[in-house]
Amino acid sequence: MSHDYSENILVQESTGKLPQEELGWEIEYAYNSEQLGENGTFGIGMIVVA
């Protein structure tokens, strides 16, 4: 599949732009790279909307 038509481009990045641009949220794409736990990617006290 071409990178230009991948799920990342068509869904994740497009959807992530809305809360980032409209609400000023910081967006992190962590699929297949997130480390879980207290010292993980997002630490404690973060709200993750899935």
Residue type, 2: S
Distance (Å, whole) CA 8 – CA 44: 26
> In the chain, what are the domain boundaries?
1-50
Q: Give pTM, 2 decimals.
A: 0.44
50: pLDDT confidence band, cut at 50, 70 and 90? Answer: low
* Residues 9-35: tens digit of each pLDDT: 677 777 888 888 999 988 877 777 777
Q: Would you state the structure tokens that stand for residue 34, as one six-digit string?
A: 């997130």
